[in-house]
Amino acid sequence: MITLTINSKKHQIDVDSNMPLLWAIRDFAELTGTKYGCGTGVCGSCTVLIDGDPIRSCLTPVSEVEGKSILTIEGVENENKVLQEVWEELNVPQCGYCQSGQIISALALLNKNTNPTDKDIDAAMSGNICRCGTYKRIRSAIHKTAELNNAKTEIE
Amino acid sequence: MNPIQKITRRGFIRSVGLASGGLIIACNVPSSTEKSPMKRAFNGKTFEPNLFIQLKDNGDLILIASRSEMGQGIRTALTSVIADEMDADWNLVSVEQAIGHPKYGNQNTDGSRSVRTLYETMRKMGATARAMLITAAANKWNVDQSTLITENHYVIDTTNNKKLFYGDLLHEAAEIAIPENPILKDRKDFKYIGKGLKSIDGAGFASGKPKYGMDIKIPEMKYVAITRCPVTFGTVKSFDKTKTMAINGVVDVIEIPRIAKPFGVLGGVVVIANNTWAAFKGKEALEIVWDNGNNKGYNSDAYAKMITDNVHKKGKEIRNDGNVHKAFKNAAHIVESTYNLPHLVHAPMEVPNATAIIKDGKCEVWAPTQDPQTARKEIADYLEIDEENVIVNITFLGGGFGRKSKPDFMVEAVAVAKAINAPVQVIWTREDDIQHSYYHAVSAQYMKASLDDNGNVTGWLHRVAYPSITSTFAPDTGYAAGFEFGMGLTNIPYQIDNVRCENGKALAHVRIGWFRSVINIIQSFSVNIFVDELAAKAGKDSLQFRLDLIGKDHIVESDSGYHFDNAKLKNVLKTAAKNADYGKKLPEGHGMGIAIHYSFLTYVASIVEVSVIDGKLKIHKISSVIDCGTAVNTDTIKSQMEGAAIFGMSLAYYGKITAKEGAIEQSNYHDYQMLRIHQTPDINVEIISSHEKPTGVGEPGVPPIAPAIINAIYNATGKRYYSLPLSDHGLV
């Protein structure tokens, strides 16, 4: 039995310790927002945050993340609701499938860098493939979220 | 007399569209046990004036999307048309996905034709409901309805400004006969159409909530992975399941045979497990001996050489105007080129998958399908049950691009569910997806043209060879079909006196299928590059040369009701040139390239600016212009064109599927790469506003991209490339 802390909630899961986190999240915790894309860590669809760092859950065994804080797309609204609102506002998604991973990667970037440049965005987001090709809007959405969050911070 | 009585059981709205085989939308067709269509449509709380509309007594409006959502925004586009004609409040609208059923008309979400074929029908659906609500209000107020208008979910009496909320009119509306010819709005009154409404699913997509195929979970469901023969149509000789059975979570291993139908099952060894990972691990541990079958000799290098040889000799005549040979004899200049493109695969982010349960002679399936009705028919055929006993639920599609038009993966799920007598979810690995698809055809093309002393094109010969999509459906003749030639070969937009098109032989050794924009990719590639080569030979500017070659304004009539108007093509080209600032002085190592293409009844021009510095390509800007008739959702059209630019860049940079001894050599996104964000250029899209009927949007943006890149590279470097991907040329 393994205990995973996903979006601040504890899940007791009876799986092999070498099962990739992705399948524990999807098949056992039944949080389906995190997606399978390649199984080899090259597409980014399965990205989640572990203690704030983006990782590929399709390659990370559950044994490595026990006791750590796991954040999936379902937990983003408590972290950076503005990010999701901007994503909607700019109509970023097309099919939407890769967008959970895109948003998680964007969240990780914005948590560390409140005013990312295009280069910073390239570096943080180039691990996430979007077959529909929404990159232009992803870039705009990250810039706009940063702007809104910074304006909010100034007011506060 | 109660108006309900006037409606016969066959009193449905009938609308005939232009889709293949026509489109019939039947509304309120009751089952044989029900006598009154209207009573069926009203239960006291919900009023359903037709199949696409459900109005609740609290005003909530549920609109039905009959086409599959795969990122093209169709759930928003189609329902916004209904809502607009209905004068509904968009904030009260929610969208429900239809199941796969012929009562919704053709649901095949393919060929960039959902809006094109359903626009007028959806308008009529909305207008019908609106007309009934107005009559209902007139009856309730006991006034003449000529003074009544509708606005944002209310009927308003203009004489006294009294208002009635739609949700408060259900009882009265349910008593109204369905009007035969409801009045459609004047386009100046459109509130949602043409206004760039944002996706109704946007908030969902940003929260991970929408259910794609793989997100479905039903009680007692087993997770299934299948290993198929690496060579197309090969079969299992024997297998050893010992190592697989030792994996925790694996329940069983069985074999399923091939179902030799276009959308049948490839067959293979099936791992049944209690979770996805166990199924995938179990698959890796299988030891299988294959009979590789008839396609084991398929090698891409040898095949490309063979089809290239076939276009270097006379082929089957497809079109012949005038006499090209005479033109060639009298030419001042001759230009000849040969083009080669590899197979491509769709690789949507969501792999093929399907969930199925068979119980009491009935079957229910959930899948990300572009073609639910074909799926339903194939499943019913396979199970030998009536189609009415098959329910096909359409989930969100994590991309489609034509892959999910083929329901083979759904039939697989049903076959396994039947074999093990339990509900299952079949999930393809990414490797399965890359290696067992219905591929975009590999191709060879040869072109030859003559120019006179003034640089005018006098003769045009175009030979193509590619395995046909028809090979998947009928015995393979080695020759392609009319619909494939009509995608940019026989219907070139240029006015040339002597034109000849020929088709060389190319037998299929893998399954061939539709891929976003289909053969247009192949034929747009050669034609757009060749025209640039001709311009260079004639010593003319590529833009003006193209405009001259398109020629004087003229219209090509068509039985389809959609005419080709070459002035529109010239207009998108000129607009793109303006947006790209074509002709401006460019830095050293930079170049601009042009391509135009007419496909899915839509006119597109793209101009690409590149640089090649130290042998490495960078794309700086893509300016695309589209004329797709009435622009139903301008923001979606922009987003589709942006996506098409990236899709076109991906195939230009990296797209290459090859076979060795019959097996596909690529396996995942590391060796079948996609464009990524750091390579994304500035993409500028302009939509030409028009009052014509809406035409295709999802696909027409793709075909101009790759040839425009090639032409830009030539203008930057003086070097012309004749094949893709560019990664083979060391440019990326």
| Residue from the list B275, B639, B670 with its beta carbon closest to the beta carbon of A94 | B639
Element (H, E) at B714: helix B705-717
Alpha helix stretches (DSSP H) within B142-196: 170-173
B421: tokens are 């007598």
Nearest-CA residue of chain A relative to B641? Answer: A133
Best of B75, B200, B207 to disrupt the A interface by mutation (most A CBs within 10 Å)? Answer: B207
A104 alpha carbon, distance to own chain's centre: 2
Residue B512 shares a structural domain with residue B422: no
DSSP secondary structure, B344-358, as one string: B----SSPPEEEEEE
Domain that holds residue B655: 300-344+439-729
Nearest-CA residue of chain B relative to A103? Answer: B206
d(CA B549, CA B537) in angstroms, rounded, equals 14
Best of B277, B395, B606, B634 to disrupt the A interface by mutation (most A CBs within 10 Å)? Answer: B277
Residue A82 shares a structural domain with residue A146: yes
| Residue from the list B205, B639, B674 with its beta carbon closest to the beta carbon of A131 | B674
Residue A123 shares a structural domain with residue A148: yes
pLDDT at position B180: 85
| Residue from the list A32, A97, A126 with its beta carbon closest to the beta carbon of B677 | A126
**CB contact at 8 A, B615 and B544:** no
List chain A residues with CB under 8 Å of B71.
Answer: 93-96, 132
List chain A residues with CB under 8 Å of B212.
Answer: 32, 35, 97
List chain A residues with CB under 8 Å of B397.
Answer: 95
Rounded to a whole number of angstroms, the distance from the CA of A75 to the nearest CA of chain B is 9
| Residue with the two structure tokens 């050794």 | B509
Residue A86 shares a structural domain with residue A131: yes
Number of domains in chain B: 3
A132: tokens are 């529909």
List chain A residues with CB under 8 Å of B403.
Answer: none
Domain that holds residue A54: 2-74
Domain ends where: A33, A49, A74?
A: A74
Q: Do the domain assignments include residue B434?
A: no
Residue B552 shares a structural domain with residue B663: yes
Nearest-CA residue of chain A relative to B276? Answer: A23
- The angle formed by the CA atoms of residues B402, B403 and B406, to the nearest 5 degrees, is 95
Rounded to a whole number of angstroms, the distance from the CA of B563 to the nearest CA of chain A is 30
| Residue from the list A45, A121, A122 with its beta carbon closest to the beta carbon of B349 | A45
Beta carbons of B276 and A20 less than 8 Å apart: no
B52: tokens are 């696409």
* Closest-CA residue to B227 (of B275, B274, B265): B265
* Three-state secondary structure call for residue A136: helix
* ipTM tops 0.90: yes
Rounded to a whole number of angstroms, the distance from the CA of A93 to the nearest CA of chain B is 7
Beta carbons of B351 and A36 less than 8 Å apart: yes
A–B CB contacts, 8 A cutoff, strictly below: 194
Beta carbons of A15 and B210 less than 8 Å apart: no
pLDDT under 50: residue ranges of chain B: 1-40
Residue B546 shares a structural domain with residue B649: yes
> β-pairing, A9-13 with B46-50?
unpaired
**CB contact at 8 A, B414 and B383:** yes
Residue A69 shares a structural domain with residue A104: no
Nearest-CA residue of chain A relative to B683? Answer: A136
**Class of residue B381 by CB neighbours under 10 A (exposed 0-12, middle 13-18, buried 19+):** middle
| Residue from the list B205, B642, B670 with its beta carbon closest to the beta carbon of A99 | B205
Say if residue B3 is preceded by a cis peptide, omega within 30 of 0.
Answer: no
Rounded to a whole number of angstroms, the distance from the CA of A27 to the nearest CA of chain B is 6
Beta carbons of A133 and B642 less than 8 Å apart: yes
pLDDT at position A118: 98
List chain B residues with CB under 8 Å of A89.
Answer: 198, 202
Residue B573 shares a structural domain with residue B552: yes
Residue B226 shares a structural domain with residue B172: no
Rounded to a whole number of angstroms, the distance from the CA of B639 to the nearest CA of chain A is 8
Q: Do the domain assignments include residue B432?
A: no
* Closest-CA residue to B664 (of B468, B440, B377, B425): B440
Number of domains in chain A: 2
SS (H, E, C) B89-157: CHHHEEEEECCCCHHHCCCCCCCCCHHHHHHHHHHHHHHHHHHHHHHHHHHHHCCCHHHEEEECCEEEE
Nearest-CA residue of chain A relative to B671? Answer: A42
Spatial CB neighbours of B164, under 8 Å, sequence gap ≥ 6 = B137, B140, B141, B154, B155, B156
Beta carbons of B348 and A103 less than 8 Å apart: no
Residue A85 shares a structural domain with residue A145: yes
* Closest-CA residue to B554 (of B496, B485, B495): B495
List chain A residues with CB under 8 Å of B201.
Answer: 93, 96
d(CA B266, CA B247) in angstroms, rounded, equals 25
- Residue B221 belongs to domain with CATH number: 3.30.365.10
Beta carbons of A43 and B676 less than 8 Å apart: no
Residue A81 shares a structural domain with residue A151: yes
* Closest-CA residue to B392 (of B79, B403, B404): B404
pLDDT at position B687: 98
B268: tokens are 């293979």
Residue A68 shares a structural domain with residue A99: no
Residue B391 shares a structural domain with residue B334: no
* Closest-CA residue to A138 (of B4, A100, A153): A100
Rounded to a whole number of angstroms, the distance from the CA of A154 to the nearest CA of chain B is 26
Element (H, E) at B556: strand B555-556
DSSP state of B582: T
List chain A residues with CB under 8 Å of B396.
Answer: 95-97
Q: Do the domain assignments include residue B337?
A: yes
> β-pairing, B53-56 with B46-50?
antiparallel
| Residue from the list A33, A73, A91 with its beta carbon closest to the beta carbon of B202 | A91
Rounded to a whole number of angstroms, the distance from the CA of B175 to the nearest CA of chain A is 40
Domain ends where: A34, A56, A74?
A: A74
**What single-letter amino acid sits at A105?**
S
Phi, psi angle pair for A114, to nearest 5°: -80, -10
DSSP state of B24: B
DSSP state of B457: E
List chain B residues with CB under 8 Å of A121.
Answer: 677
Domain ends where: A74, A98, A114?
A: A74
d(CA B645, CA B482) in angstroms, rounded, equals 27
